[in-house]
Structure formats: structure tokens, C-alpha cells
Amino acid sequence: MTGVLLAAVKVAVAFGFLMGTVIVLVWAERRIVAFMQNRHGPNRAGPAGILQTAADGLKLFFKESMTPRKAEFALYIAAPVLAVVPALLVFAVIPVGAPITIGGVTYTLQVTDLDVGVLYVLAVSSLGVYAVTLAGWSSGSKYPLLGSVRAAAQMISYEAALGLALVPVIMFTGTTSLAEIVEAQGGTFGGGLPAWNLVLVPSFVIFLIAGFAETNRAPFDLVEAEQEIVGGYHTEYSGMRFAFFFLAEYINVFNMAALTTVFFLGGWHGPRFGPPAVEMALPVVWFLAKTWAIVFLFIWVRATLPRVRYDQLMAFGWKRLIPVSLVWIFLSMVAIGVRRFGLPWA
């Protein structure tokens, strides 16, 4: 019974955490991009404009949701739900902090730890393609259809690279559970550098680039290239239905940054000191600091790089990223083999 109660509390906390994160994230992106472009950004609602996203959300809630005459209504209305649910599900396996002990009972700071965590993440995040495809097709409009076909091709192209980038990580740590991958990154290499998977630099770079493409962020935001295909797959959505596509997009950005932290930046590992309460809270602080650093990188890249052309996008994915990740898998196999079994001629 306590198990059910605990699961319920975790689910509730996770939802609250994600909603709060998105509210801050959207505001942070608008403010940071604004400062990089020498303007102010939203600064009226609440202190420094931090309530702007909440205000926008409320406004969308009271707006009329229009439906195009030719839309396939059942699929049209299902698409926003299908967009948000996979985004939420990915977050369910991310460990946001070290296990904490209160009154002799240890709680993990993760909704649930699956043994096949990495496979689960890859599988669930692919489901997002359905939302995009169905939204574009069911709208019964030209530009959303074009946008969704583009999005589907882009997302599956870069997902292959995303999966391949994780093979060396799993070889290195010997587990697919996200909690154990973080656990394996504790300590240091010979007392100097922290033992993060960041030593697998090519994997990190491939994962990050594929992550930009997976979340449809600049410079790979062709899915919603305003100059070519209006708003992309969600052109015909308005009101609350549009708000959920927006929500899913930003949850995905946060998830991708959190996954980068878990796989490569040592998750919640970091110096721990101070009285027990502070010592217990520090891992969460480290995790959030690393994740937000990656989020900042996402925003920085968006403000800096121009959008790539479609043929460049596909050529980069298939002719650069995937061959490079295959070569890197080969090299890391040899390196890990030598490290474990010694030189073949020795």
C-alpha cells in the first residue's frame, strides 16, 4: 500500500516539477534570446516577466479552438495528447538526484527505474513522431502536411544516430538502467578528473547534435520554418490544443538536456558537503545546474546559428553523423577491448 502511495506522490511531484520547469524554460529562452539580440524580451508579468508563460497559458485556455472544415476530427484532437504523453514518459526514468534516506527508508528521486532504461527512452521518444505526422495529416491543409512529412524524415534520420551514440556509453558502464549509469560515473579517474562519461567525447557531440535535431530546435528547425511552410505541422491548431504542442516541445528540450547530463555529465554527481540536510539536497542542485547549462547551450545555439537547408540536413545526418558514429563505435570497441583484455599480442 505504501508503494502505491509513494508512486502516486512521485507522479504528482513529477508533473508539478515539469510544469514549473516549462514555465521558467519558455521565459528563460525568450529573455536570453532577447538579450543576445540586444532587446528586452518579456519583462512585464511578474518580477522580470517570469509569469509571462503562465499568463500566455491562461490566455490560450480562454481562447476559441478553431477546427478546419476538412480536418479528420478524431485524429486531429488526439494529436496534442499524443505529443505530450511521450514527452512526460521520458521524464519518468530520469534520476534527478541521489537516493535520499529519511527515517531509515531510502527513496529514489526518480519516478521509476527500469532496467532497460535506455531502450525505454529511445522507444518512447520515437512515439513523438506519431503526434507530428497525425497532426499534419489530419489538419487537411497543405503546409502542415509538408511540415509533418519533413519532421518525420528528420526525426527518424537523427534518431538512428542518437541510438548509435549511446552504444559506447553502455559498453563503458555495462548497464542500461539510467540510475546505474549515473552511479557508475561517481569517483574520479586516478584522483584528477571526475569519472564522467564525457571521456567519450565523440559520443557526447553526436548525441548533442542528434538531440538538437530530435527536438526540432535551431539549426534544425525546418519543421516549422516560417518562411517556407508557415508554422509547420501545428499551423491549424489554436487555443489549448496548440498550447499542448508547445508544452511538449519544451518538455522535450528539458528531457534532452537532462538525458545528456545523465549519460555524459555524471548526472547528480558533484562535491557533497555541509550539514545532512544540505548534503542531501546538493545532488539535485548539481543535476539541475548541469541540465540548465545544457539548456542554455540549446538557447545559445538557437540565437547564433542560421537554419540549415533541407538537403544539408539529410546529408549531414546520413553521410556524416551516422558514418562517424559507426567508426567511433568501432574505435571504442577496440579501446575498451584493449582496456579489459589487454593487447592481443601481449
Partner 1 sequence: MLNAYFGDYITVAVFMAVGALLVAGAIFASSLIAPRRPGGFKEVVYESGIEPIGGGWNQSHIRYYVFALLFLIFDVEAIFMFPWAIRLDFFAEAGLGITVLVEMIVFVVVLVLGLLYALAKGVLRWE
Beta strand 97-102 pairing with 105-109: antiparallel
Question: For residue 287, what are the contacts with CB-CB under 8 A and spacing of at least 6?
Answer: 95, 96, 97, 258, 261, 267, 268
CA distance 73 to 67: 8
Site for partner 1 in 286-315 (CB under 8 A): 310-311, 314-315
Residue with cell 540586444: 38
Tell me if 340 contacts partner 1 by CB under 8 A: yes
How many angstroms separate the most distant Cα atoms in the chain? 74
198-224 in b/e burial notation, b at 16+ Cβ within 10 A?
A: eebebbbbbbbbbbbbbbbbbbbbbbb
Smallest separation (angstroms) from partner 1 to the CB of 136: 10
Q: Which of 3, 104, 271, 276 binds partner 1 (CB under 8 A)?
A: 3
Nearer to partner 1, 49 or 80 (CB): 80
In angstroms, give the least distance from the CB of 92 to partner 1.
Answer: 5
Choose, by CB under 8 A, the member of 36, 175, 183, 202 that binds partner 1.
Answer: 175
Report if residue 70 touches partner 1, rule: CB under 8 A: yes
Quick check: 230 binds partner 1 (CB under 8 A)?
A: yes
Q: How far apart are CA 338 and CA 333, in angstroms?
A: 8
How far apart CA 9 and CA 336 sit, in angstroms, is 41
**Residue 252 and residue 126: Cα distance in Å, rounded?**
12
- 94, 250, 283, 318, 338 from 113: Cα distances, Å: 8, 23, 17, 33, 32
Taking the mean position of all CA atoms in its chain, how far away is CA 297? Answer: 13
CA dihedral 30, 36, 40, 41 (to 10 degrees): -10
Q: How far is the CB of 77 from partner 1 (least distance, A)?
A: 7
- Residues between 10 and 49 with contacts to partner 1, criterion CB under 8 A: 10-11, 14-15
What residues from 107 to 166 belong to the interface with partner 1 (CB under 8 A)? Answer: 111-114, 118-119, 122, 137, 139-143, 145-146, 149, 152-153, 156-157, 159-160, 163-164, 166
Q: What backbone phi and psi angles, to 5 degrees, belong to 165?
A: -65, -25
Q: In the numeric block, which cell numbers belong to residue 246?
A: 508547445
Per rule CB under 8 A, is residue 75 in the interface with partner 1?
Answer: no
Site membership for partner 1, residue 240 (CB under 8 A)? yes
The residue among 114, 113, 117, 111 whose CA lies nearest residue 6 is 111
Q: Which stretch binds partner 1 (CB under 8 A): 95-103, 169-177, 284-292, 300-308?
A: 169-177
Please state the closest distance from residue 9 (CB atom) to partner 1, in A. Answer: 11
281 lies in the site for partner 1, by CB under 8 A:
no
Cβ at position 171, least distance to partner 1 in Å? 4
The nearest distance, CB 50 to partner 1, in angstroms, is 22
Residues 315-334 contacting partner 1, CB under 8 A? 315, 318-319, 322-323, 326, 329-330, 333-334
- Closest CB to partner 1 among 94 and 282? 94
Residue 283 in contact with partner 1, rule: CB under 8 A: no
Report how far residue 336's alpha carbon sits from residue 346's, in angstroms, rounded to the nearest whole number: 16
Give the binding-site size for partner 1 (rule: CB under 8 A): 82
Task: Tell me which stretch binds partner 1 (CB under 8 A): 40-48, 67-75, 202-210, 261-269.
Answer: 67-75
CB of 244 to partner 1, least distance (A): 6
Instruction: Mark the segment that binds partner 1 (CB under 8 A) among 25-33, 181-189, 198-206, 335-343.
Output: 335-343
**Which of 62, 74, 102, 346 lies at the binding interface for partner 1 (CB under 8 A)?**
62
